Amino acid sequence: MSTASKPVMRTDANMADPDGFYEAWIAAHEGLSDEESNDLDARLVLLLANQIGDPEVLRACIAEARAGRAPAR
Amino acid sequence: MRAVVLDEDDTVGVKGASSRGICYAQKSLEIFERLGIYERIRAKGITWSVGRTFSGAEEVYTFNLQDDSASEQPPFVNLQQFYLEWFLVDRIMELDCTDLRWKSRVTKVDNDADAVVVEVETPAGRYALEAEWFIDATGANSRIREAMGLEVNPSRSTDRWCITDVRFTKPFPTQRWTWVDAPFNEGRAVWQHLMADDVWRLDYQMAEDCDPEAISKPEVAGERLRAQLGPDVDFEFVWIGPYQYRDHLLETFRVGRTLFIGDSAHVVSPFGARGGNNGIQDAANLGWKLALVLAGEAGDELLDSYHAERHPAAVENLTVCRRTARFLAPRSRAEHRIRRAVCTLAKRHEFARKLANTGRMAQANAYPPSRWAKDGARSVQNVAEGGTTLMRSLAGGTRFLGLAIGADAASLARLDELAALFPIDFRGIDASGPLARHLGAAAGTVVVVRPDAYVAATLVEATPEAVAAAMRDAVGADERARLAAVA
What is chain A's percent helix, strand, coil content, to nearest 5? 65, 0, 35
Which stretch of A62-71, B369-378, B392-401 has the lowest confidence by average pLDDT?
A62-71
The reply to whether B337 touches chain A by the CB within 8 Å rule is yes
Domains of chain B: 155-246 (3.30.9.10), 384-486 (3.40.30.120)
How confident is the model at residue A1, as a pLDDT? 44
The reply to whether B330 touches chain A by the CB within 8 Å rule is no
Mean pLDDT of B324-331: 96
How confident is the model at residue B1, as a pLDDT? 86
The DSSP line for B377-394 is B-B----EETTEEHHHHT
Mean pLDDT of B327-354: 96
pTM above 0.90, yes or no: yes
Closest CA to B255 of B144, B124, B130: B144
How confident is the model at residue A4, as a pLDDT? 52
Q: Which residues of A touch B341 (CB under 8 A)?
A: 39, 42-43, 45-46
Chain A: closest CA distance from residue B268 (Å)? 26
Asked whether the predicted pLDDT for residue B355 surpasses 80, the reply is yes
How confident is the model at residue B461, as a pLDDT? 86
What is the percent of chain B where pLDDT is above 90?
Answer: 92
Mean pLDDT of A5-11: 77
Under DSSP, the state recorded for B376 is -
Mean pLDDT of B11-27: 77
Q: Is the dihedral of CA B41, B42, B46, B48 positive or negative?
A: positive
Asked whether the predicted pLDDT for residue B306 surpasses 80, the reply is yes
Mean pLDDT of B64-76: 96
B240-252 pLDDT tens trace: 999 999 999 999 9
Check: CB of residue B146 under 8 Å from CB of residue B157.
no
Residues 6+ apart with CB under 8 A from B340: A39, A42
The verdict on a CB contact (< 8 Å) between A42 and B340 is yes
Measuring CA to CA, how many Å separate B412 from each of A73, B385, B474?
77, 18, 21
Residue of A48, A50, A52, A66 for testing the chain B interface, max B β-carbons within 10 Å: A50
Residue of A34, A35, A39 for testing the chain B interface, max B β-carbons within 10 Å: A39
The reply to whether B352 touches chain A by the CB within 8 Å rule is yes
pLDDT, averaged across chain B: 94
How confident is the model at residue B62, as a pLDDT? 92
B134-160 pLDDT tens trace: 999 999 999 999 999 999 999 998 999
What number is the ipTM of this complex? Answer: 0.90
Asked whether the predicted pLDDT for residue B15 surpasses 60, the reply is no
3-state secondary structure chain A: CCHHHCCCCCCCCCCCCHHHHHHHHHHHHCCCCHHHHHHHHHHHHHHHHHHHCCHHHHHHHHHHHHHCCCCCC
B253-296 pLDDT tens trace: 999 999 999 999 999 999 999 999 999 999 999 999 999 999 99
The reply to whether A32 touches chain B by the CB within 8 Å rule is no
Chain A: closest CA distance from residue B149 (Å)? 39
Asked whether the predicted pLDDT for residue A2 surpasses 50, the reply is no
Asked whether the predicted pLDDT for residue A3 surpasses 70, the reply is no
The reply to whether B345 touches chain A by the CB within 8 Å rule is yes
pLDDT range class, residue A24, cuts 50, 70, 90: very high
The verdict on a CB contact (< 8 Å) between A46 and B340 is no
H/E stretch holding A47 reads helix A34-52
How confident is the model at residue A69, as a pLDDT? 74
How confident is the model at residue A6, as a pLDDT? 58
How confident is the model at residue B171, as a pLDDT? 82
